[in-house]
Structure 1
């Protein structure tokens, strides 16, 4: 079943102009469509709708050391809570940490790269409130973090 994620504003890249009333359709682990909410709802009438406060855009690449935590799983989850679904391999310095990243579908990259919401691309999204705090993270189509 598809899910439509919509927010006050949607950005295809974090440098692009925001789209007011925008939405992103996620099916399994892929982006199905990006556009205005009304158009997306018409094209996907059976999809459930998740409304988020703030700005929705592509999930980020965490470019520094993973936050300290008691276990590798918790270190990876701390990155997800920041709105990132990718980390740099130079900071994934143990087999346990790499395994935790893989189990959570967190991508390990050789170097940083730009991120974007692209139809048919992997469904990696993040929502941030006006203060810049992460409200929600979608990693490979799964909602992995939601601030209460």
Structure 2
């Protein structure tokens, strides 16, 4: 089943111009399309709709050490709560942390991307999204199409 995630503003990348009353269609673990809510609702009438306050954009890359927590699962979840779905290999050095990342769909990258690289929402790309409030704090995280964090 497809889900339309909609917000006051959608950013294809964090440096791009906003799409007002924007939306992203997610089917399984992939991005179906990006546009205004009105046009996507018309094209995907059977999709479930999740409305978010704030700004919806691509999920983040967590470049530093993982937050402290009692268990590997909780350390990975702490990253998801920050709107990140990628961690760096150097910070997941134990088999338990790697397994927790894998179970949650969190990607482990060998290093920091080049300075010119920027996360973006791409049609047919993996559905990794973050919703941020006006302070930049994460409201919700979608990792590989699954809602893995929602602030209450």
User: Given the two structures, how large is their TM-score scaled by the length of structure 2?
Assistant: 0.96
Quote how far apart the aligned CAs of 1:18 are: 1.0
Provide the residue aligned with 2:69 in structure 1.
Answer: 69
User: Which piece of structure 1 moves more, 108-117 or 127-136?
Assistant: 108-117
Partner Cα separation in structure 1 for residue 71 and residue 131 of structure 2: 26
Quote how far apart the aligned CAs of 1:93 are: 1.0
Quote how far apart the aligned CAs of 1:112 are: 2.5
Partner Cα separation in structure 1 for residue 49 and residue 112 of structure 2: 32
Residue 139 of structure 1, aligned match among 125, 143, 149: 143
Residue 129 of structure 1, aligned match among 116, 133, 136: 133
Partner Cα separation in structure 1 for residue 2 and residue 111 of structure 2: 32
Aligned residue runs from structure 1 range 1-148, under 5 A? 1-113=1-113, 114-148=118-152
1:2-57 residue CA offsets vs partner (Å, 9 max, x unmatched): 00001110000011111101100000000001011111001100001110000000
Structure 1 residues without counterparts, runs of 5 or longer = none
List structure 1 runs of 4+ shifted beyond 2 angstroms. none
Q: How many residues align?
A: 148
Partner Cα separation in structure 1 for residue 70 and residue 79 of structure 2: 14
CA RMSD of aligned residues (A): 0.6
Structure 2 residues without counterparts, runs of 5 or longer = none
User: Given the two structures, how large is their TM-score scaled by the length of structure 1?
Assistant: 0.98
